[in-house]
Amino acid sequence: MRNHTEVKEFILLGIPETQGAETLLFVIFLFIYLFTLLGNLLILTAIISSSALHTPMYFFLGLLSIFDMLFPSVTCPKMLFYLSGQSHAISYHGCAAQLFFYHFLGSTEGCLYSVMAYDRFVAICHPLRYNLIMRPGVCVGLVLGAWTVGCLHASTLTSFTFRLNYCGPNQVGYFFCDIPAVLPLACDDSSLAQTVGSSAVGFLALMLWFIVCVSYTHIGIAILRIRSVEGRKKAFSTCSAHLTAILCAYGPVIIIYLQSTPNPLLGAVVQILNNIVSPMLNSLIYSLRNKEVKRSLKRVFPKAVLTSHE
């Protein structure tokens, strides 16, 4: 970042066309945010407490729950702060940090979805070799690779965005610092940063989506070869929750960053779905549709209640 940048803070104007509804939005988003934290914390507790869930599939699901708690925490607390009537200001470095962690956590979670798709591919298409292929060292390596890709992706986008000179105005017409909202405020030519941002996000999303599609194409072929109806249902049930979560995650990204003429209100609505609603839905999807997680939760919390009464 350049030392001669004149702007010391940005003003987040909030969600477009929602003036006068701040109190209602505060209550709704606070409820969703707390529900998201609680739901994913319950899933994480169930996975840690049950030895039967100490498998690669639930190792990745536990990491996904952690990301689903961290990802909305990048934007939601600040949004709740100014929706409650407090200052809309965010420091220059706070804005840069918000943009970095938004793309770091988002892209890393996208990589994790692809890793989970590969895990399901191995489990269904190569069940006899599953424990050999998805051994602990491989799982850790895949996660570290996802973190590395996410860090490089976010570092590139943040450096290209904040290497520009911002000398005013400083009003961000959005509810958090993101590339499409911050770049128009730059005093320098931002065309290169805009091109790099759109290309990087689009390339990463398409690459990860390609991995998912290839994995699930092979999974679909393998499921069709299963003769018993019960076997097909069991194989499909292990993948349906993951597929639903992927659609909730990739859909908003494609709409936001690949649209030719951005619509501020549409972009805000889609980002809210991506930032706040999707992490909440993941906890519902994986808890309600997963019998093992539900069984683990039923074992854990009665014990906790009994312990508290002793």
Q: Tell me: pLDDT of 163 over 70.
A: yes
- Let me know if residue 253 belongs to a domain: yes
Q: How confident is the model at residue 19 (pLDDT cuts 50, 70, 90)?
A: confident
Q: State how far the Cα of 310 lies from the Cα of 307, in Å rounded to an integer.
A: 5
The neighbour count for residue 149, using CB atoms within 10 Å, is: 19
Any domain includes 146 = yes
Assigned domain for 236 exists: yes
Residue 147 in any domain: the answer is yes
The CATH number of the domain where 226 resides is what? Answer: 1.20.1070.10
> By residue range, what is the domain housing residue 271?
9-309
- Separation of alpha carbons 19 and 154, rounded Å: 32
Work out whether the CA dihedral 34, 43, 279, 148 comes out positive or negative.
positive
pLDDT at position 157: 92
pTM of this structure:
0.85
Q: Would 2 be classed as within a structural domain?
A: no
Give the number of domains in the chain. 1
Give me the percent of the chain exceeding a pLDDT of 90: 27
Tokens at residue 42, please? 């319950």
Q: Does the structure show a pLDDT above 60 at 63?
A: yes
| Residue 274, in any domain of the structure | yes
Cα dist from 184 to 70, 71, 96, 167, 216, whole Å: 28, 25, 15, 12, 39
Q: Is residue 1 part of a domain?
A: no
Give residue-wise pLDDT tens across range 262-302: 566 677 777 787 788 888 877 777 665 666 777 776 776 66
Q: Does residue 223 lie in a domain region?
A: yes
CA–CA distance, 173 with 13 (Å, rounded to integer): 5
